[in-house]
Amino acid sequence: MIRFLAGRLGTAALVLFVLTLIVFVLARVIPADPAVVYAGPKAPPEELARIREKLGFDQPLVLQYFNYLTGLVRGDWGDSLATKRPVLDELATRLPATLELLFAAMLFAIVVGIVLGVVAARRPGKALDGAIRFLAIGGVSMPAFWLGLLLQVLFVGQLKLLPATGQFSTDVEYLSPITPVTGFPLLDSFLTGNWAAYSDGLAHLILPALTLAAYPLGLVARMTRASMLEVLSQDYVFTASAYGLRDGLIRWRLALKNALPPTMTIIGLAAAYTLTGTFFVEVVFNWPGIGQFAAGAMLAVDYPAIMAITLLGAAGYLIANFVVDLVQARLDPRVRLA
């Protein structure tokens, strides 16, 4: 098991190193002068020269890359050209909102997706199975920003049940301010018993979480269905049924456990994809997370922020897959030999 973990960590470190090189080179070939972005288009030439020296762009490319790597190790990911603040501070401010949205979406997608997959595999080819497959294909195929707009039209414009945008209402900041505990606003409101802020934040969370959950839910449901159909065709399942075990016990305890490893792989990939998919959802719902910061950085050609967001997304992808490997190794010891 130690060798298994060491191998996964070594691979992750190598991937991050190669990614830093690719991102660094791509950032340097962008046809834009970072000094102009930093100082403005009307800055005099001497001011631009001073800024290039300050940011280190007058140094050789190899030395710039070395300084970039050492800065990453020290926790210095550079300053945002648009906000003039350290990129890590910008990410730390916005990351809790994104993680709350991601956690809610993935929790809903995993629970509902697995249940739908098991139900669909119970009677393949029947009407219920067809309806679930149609729902899964729709969730995978529909663009997140379009689904978000449709949900806003339905639940906000027509039914008037949920708020349209934002993480909290403006009244919460003044009437029910949240006391910071963990840095996650919705969780802090729950821990401190601020039920007015908690209910308001929960109402704001529903639509973006449903929008973000559509893609992973479809993947999880389809993979669970396929894995369950394969497991249910095994001899030991027929043997368990012949011994008189209840159908529900066979499906939800015996078969589901053996069908989960392929589903866990899909969950890891979907979680990593969903991390970057939050960018579109956050823009549609005006969610104060990393997505808003990423959209602004791309429009402003703020390449230090773009590089940091790219690395953060890659790190999230690797962490998600590492967690999946651990869960799979727990469920199936044969994975440790891979």
Residue 73 lies in a domain: no
Which residue range(s) make up the domain with 207? 90-287
Residue 332, pLDDT score:
63
pLDDT score at 334: 58
Q: What's the pLDDT score for residue 220?
A: 92
The answer to whether residue 317 is domain-embedded is no
pLDDT at 301: 76
**Spatial separation of the C-alpha atoms in residues 176 and 297, rounded to whole Å:** 32
Q: What distance lies between CA 226 and its chain's CA centroid?
A: 25
The per-residue pLDDT for 333 is 62
Instruction: Report whether 293 contacts 91 (CB < 8 A).
Output: yes
| Cβ atoms of 168 and 197 closer than 8 Å | yes
pTM: 0.82
**What is the predicted pLDDT for the residue at 113?**
92
Q: How far apart are CA 147 and CA 283, in angstroms?
A: 13
User: Nearest to residue 114, comparing CAs of 316, 255, 323?
Assistant: 255
CB neighbours of residue 20 within 10 Å:
18
> Per-residue pLDDT for the chain (338 aa), expressed as one digit of tens each?
677 677 777 887 888 888 888 888 877 776 666 777 677 777 787 777 887 777 777 777 788 888 888 888 888 888 887 788 888 888 888 889 999 999 999 999 999 999 999 998 888 888 888 898 898 888 888 888 889 999 999 999 888 889 988 889 888 878 888 888 888 999 999 999 999 999 999 999 999 999 999 999 999 999 999 998 888 888 887 888 887 778 878 888 788 888 888 888 788 778 877 877 788 888 889 898 888 888 888 777 788 888 888 888 888 888 877 777 777 666 666 555 45
Interatomic CA distance for residues 52 and 288, integer angstroms: 31
Asked if residues 293 and 227 have their Cβ atoms less than 8 Å apart, the reply is no
135: in domain: yes
Q: What is the pLDDT of residue 32?
A: 67
DSSP H helical ranges for 164-286: 170-175, 185-191, 195-232, 235-242, 247-249, 256-285
Domain count within the chain: 1
Q: What is the pLDDT of residue 114?
A: 92
Residue 262 C-beta-side C-alpha neighbours within 13 Å: 17
The token pair at 82 is 């648009």
Phi, psi of 248 (to 5 degrees): -65, -40
Q: What is the CATH number of the domain that holds 192?
A: 1.10.3720.10
Residue 58 domain flag: no
For residues 325 and 335, is the Cβ–Cβ distance under 8 A? yes
Whether residue 57 lies inside any domain: the answer is: no
Assigned domain for 277 exists: yes
* In-domain check, residue 136: yes
Alpha-carbon distance 56 to 79, whole Å? Answer: 12
Residue 157 in any domain: the answer is yes
